[in-house]
Amino acid sequence: MELRIVRFRWVAVLLLAVILSGCRGEALGPPRAVALEVTEFTITPSAISAQVGERISFRVSNTGVLEHDVSIQDPSGEKIALLSLMTNQHGTLQIEPSTPGVWMIVCTLPGHEMAGMTATLQVNP
């Protein structure tokens, strides 16, 4: 009887190890770096593409003379990330888009989006 319990425990341990090894994801590499420049009244580049689940690190530089921000919005219009920058400042936003479609990158300060401070992130399945 004791031998059966020991065998059962070993089988259970081996089975658990096999199951857990299947749950382990691949090692994640660094996110793809995308440089964004904001100035009066543009965001460069104005069009970017990505894949669903791709990790992206936006390195944002404000080269303008005014304060600007960068808001990343999913296709439903929900704000996913926001970064505010004074002139000559830079910062980073990281996202991992989960929904295909056109994501918007805009400056949300009053009048800036209407003046042309927009870019698109096309997320493909």
Which residue type sits at 120? Answer: T
* Residue 29 pLDDT: 83
Lowest-pLDDT range, 11-15, 51-55, 73-77, 111-115? 11-15
Q: Is the pLDDT of residue 55 over 50?
A: yes
Does this model's pTM top 0.85? My answer is: no
For 32-124, CATH gives 2.60.40.420
Percent of the chain with pLDDT over 70: 78
Q: Is the pLDDT of residue 32 over 80?
A: yes
Mean of pLDDT over the chain: 87
Q: Is the pLDDT of residue 124 over 60?
A: yes
Q: Is the pLDDT of residue 23 over 90?
A: no
Average pLDDT rounded to a whole number, residues 74-99: 96
Spatial strand order in the sheet of 90-95: 42-44, 32-39, 56-62, 90-95
* Residue 3 pLDDT: 47
Average pLDDT rounded to a whole number, residues 36-42: 97
